[in-house]
Amino acid sequence: MRLRVSVLVLALAGALSGPAWAQGTATSTSAGAADWGGQNIRLGVSAGLQAGAPGFTQSSILQIYAEDAPITVDYGHKSALLVDGSLGFHLKGRFGLGVAVSYARSKVDGQVHGEIPHPFYFNQPRAIDGTASGLQQTVLGTHIQALYLWPVNDKFDIMFSGGPSLIMLQQDLVSNVNFSETYPYDTATYESAQLARTRRTGIGFNAGADLTYHFTQMLGLGVLVRYTRATISLPIAGASNVSARAGGAQAGVGLRVLF
């Protein structure tokens, strides 16, 4: 499944354009105090999906048979299951400060292409192609957020958020390839990939909105959409670096508790 920010925003707009939106407009004044409706703390727990960040490419030079063996891996992207927790503090007026932690894990495929040197002769590479499956990708984002609450009506409000993110990416990268060959070795066949799990943290950003429907004064149901991204340089043998983009569009639904 591929989720995009635009789709998420449309979905959010659709929710707002329903009766609740009309009702909210009519009653905005009564709920529209320049504060957080009397509560100073808002806790949220959501589960949902994180759309994969755009894929990235790894270009490595391995040493095989006394010669350079260029290997490229195109890592795909895939939606990940998302768990998100957030904590917001009211500062003043509609503004607040928050922190959110999101955790997403998925398994992606890597399309491997290699030029495997001939064992006996220089400059006679044999092309191999294949798929490295089940490459685990884990993204742990810690998002520092400036918050702005827009009370739509007495049942709905929207919390806008944005700020810097610290994103830890743990990614399985292809560190070597296994191939089969038989004499006279004029061709080689991709068999599997050897993986190395690498982890690096990078700084990025987040921007999002959380639409909350209030059952009671203290309890609500929230729909979160957020976009977060960081570019992270992953170390891998045989490559100067692998520049990966971590994060992506996030969407989740969950409980909101207000104090």
Partner 1 sequence: MRLRLAALVAGLVALVSASTAAQRPLSPPAMVIASTPQTIGAWDARVRAMLQNGQLDIGRLQRDSLISGRTHVRLDQRYQGLPVFGGQVVRQQSGQTTISVFGRFFQNISINAKPTLTAAAAAHAAVAAQGADSVASGPPVLGVLPGGSHGYVLAYRVLVRAPWDIQIYYIDANTGAVVSHASRIKKDQAAAAIGSGTGVNGDREKVSANQSGGTYQAIDVMRPAVTFTLDFGGNPARFNSFFTSGQVFLSDVATSSSNTWTDPVVVDASAYQGMFYDYVYKVMGRSGIDDANLQVVGITHPLSRSDAGTYSSDIVGNYIDNALYLGDGTILYGDGDGQTFTYLAGALDVVAHELTHGITDFSSQLGGTDEPGALNEAFSDIMATAIEFAYQPPGNGKDQADWLIGEDVTLTAPGFIRSLEDPQAGGGVDNYSKIRDIGTSNDNGGVHENSTIASHAFYLAVHGGTNRTSGMSVQGVGMANLDRVAKAFYRGFVFMLGPNSTFSDARRATLQAAQDLYGSTSNEYAQIQQAWTAVGVH
**Shortest Å, Cβ 114 to partner 1:** 16
Q: What is the DSSP string of 38-81?
A: T--EEEEEEEEEEPPPPPEEEEEEEEETTEEEEEEEEE----EE
CB of 161 vs partner 1, minimal distance in Å:
57
21 lines the binding site for partner 1 (CB under 8 A): no
If one asks whether residue 115 binds partner 1 (CB under 8 A), the answer comes out as no
CA distance 19 to 13: 12
Contacts (CB under 8 A) with partner 1, residues 166-185: 183-185
Considering only 17, 18, 121, 215, the residue that binds partner 1 (CB under 8 A) is 121
**From CA 52, how far away is CA 55, in angstroms rounded?**
8
Binding of residue 89 to partner 1 (CB under 8 A): no
The span from the CA of 238 to the CA of 240, in Å, is 7
| CB 128 within 8 Å of CB 190 | yes
Q: In the bound complex, what is the minimum distance in angstroms from residue 49's beta carbon to partner 1? A: 47
Residues numbered 196 to 255 that lie near partner 1 (CB under 8 A) are none
35 vs 181, beta carbon nearer partner 1: 181
Which residues of this protein are in contact with partner 1, per CB under 8 A?
65-67, 119-122, 183-185
